[in-house]
Amino acid sequence: MSRRLARFALSLYRWGGVALYPIVSPYLTFRAAKGKEDRSRRRERYGYASVARPPGPLVWFHAASVGETNAVIPLIKEVRRRGIAVLLTTGTITSAKVVRGRLGTDVIHQYVPLDLKPAISRFLEYWHPDLAIMAESEIWPMTILELGKRHIPQVLVNGRISDRSFPRWKRRHAIADAIFENFALVIAQSELDADRFRTLGALPVLVSGNLKVDTDAPPADSAVLRSYLDQIQGRRTWAAISTFEGEEAAAGDVHRVLKERTGLLTIIVPRHPERSDAIADMLEARSLKVARRTRGDALTPQTDIFLGDTIGEMGLYLRMTEIAFVGRSLFAEGGQNPLEPAMLGCAILSGGNVQNFREAYQQLARNGSAKMVRDTEMLAKGVHYLLMNDEMRKQMIEAGQETVQEMRGALRATIKGLEPYINPLTVKARLHPRQTS
């Protein structure tokens, strides 16, 4: 497709909306909530604001879900420290709860509008952001085009392009070029991601490292943690966290194999807590006794599985163990963030499908803090080995914490890259003292 034809297609897309989606690209799709939206705030999806815009300069941050939200929180705090108002949009109820718990009223939260011209235009006309900062892989053509039309600088931070998405964009290079040229700056996680963005037409592109390394470890309520540790009474534990379908069954199988030899308590934390009823039924059908966090169930000597079916308590679950299997890696693809268990003192196990966190896993594995497993049998052997070998477990934990320290620096690099855009807003904010916290 020629560049001229690409621009024509995108102009039609801007005005035609739905009709052109399948023509332009298979991944120019709506932000579908898929049942994860707050029905009382549904109008926000169509660009209708539910709160007033504050006076003065405003930076719009967008983070799709929990991981991206946590990654940009330190960056948001830096912007707020300068007295600049922040509008943060996310796509799920889960991420909205994280925003409320970790940022409170320090930011304005809205659900992100659908990537349709009427919704995006309404959203931008109301909020008038001075700068738009998108996290990781949020490439929404209508949003990007409408921001470009209004000459609002837009920056992609912690940017990455997956192995799956890159060839699709590359096959439609003219369209990619017409979209990516709208970014004032792309700050990529790795050199590989940076090369991919440049290939697709983004300039300039900087490399920062992964912002998720520079976040604080997830918190935990000390009284709740103490209560659970008292109930465990020294039993050996391991956790399967951020699990996807099939991985909870695998964790149950591992428990059944090991419990007689180790007196084991298994902690399972599904990536999507709304699946917890089905997960509990599946485990109980295998004659496993399940205690659920949402029900306040006690952990008795007879408890096999502690199901962590809550939002925002990963810090609690990881502090209850020293061994963590990180999901979306055995029976699903992409992987989940291994940095939080590394920060909190866990030896890490994972399946091999970790493309979205390739660099983090490479560094953790290189330093001896993460081990990869092929299947459920190998996972059981890995868990058993770490349960029985205190010295190896300790070595992996220490290596993980050292690796996290070595990887830090992305926040500093990102702020430096953003300074040409943030510094003028800092000056403007001084004219509006009500913006300061």
Residue 173: CB partners within 8 Å, gap ≥ 6? 1, 200, 201
What SS3 class is residue 347? strand
Report the candidate in 97, 100, 113 with the shortest Cα–Cα distance to residue 48.
113
Find residue 296's DSSP bridge partners.
none
Active-site residue 68, yes or no? yes
In total, the chain counts a number of residues equal to 437
CA dist 236 and 187 (Å) reads 42
User: Which of the following is catalytic: 37, 44, 68, 247?
Assistant: 68
Number of neighbouring beta carbons within 10 Å of residue 329: 28
Find, among 425, 114, 297, the residue nearest to 289 by Cα.
297
Whether the Cβ atoms of residue 140 and residue 115 lie closer than 8 Å to each other: yes
Q: How many helices (H) and strands (E) does the chain have?
A: 18, 14
Could you tell me where the DSSP H helices lie in 295-371?
314-318, 339-343, 358-366
Residue that has been written with the tokens 């560094």 in this structure: 363
Q: Cis omega (within 30 of 0) on the bond before 204?
A: yes
C-alpha dihedral, 128 to 131 to 134 to 138, nearest 10° = 50
| Long-range contacts formed by 49-52: CB under 8 A, 24+ apart | 49/110, 49/123, 49/126, 49/127, 50/110, 51/108, 51/110
Instruction: Name the DSSP letter for residue 56.
Output: S
For residue 58, the SS3 value is strand
From the centroid of its chain, how far is CA 352?
A: 19
State CA 372 to chain mean position distance: 21
The catalytic residues are 68
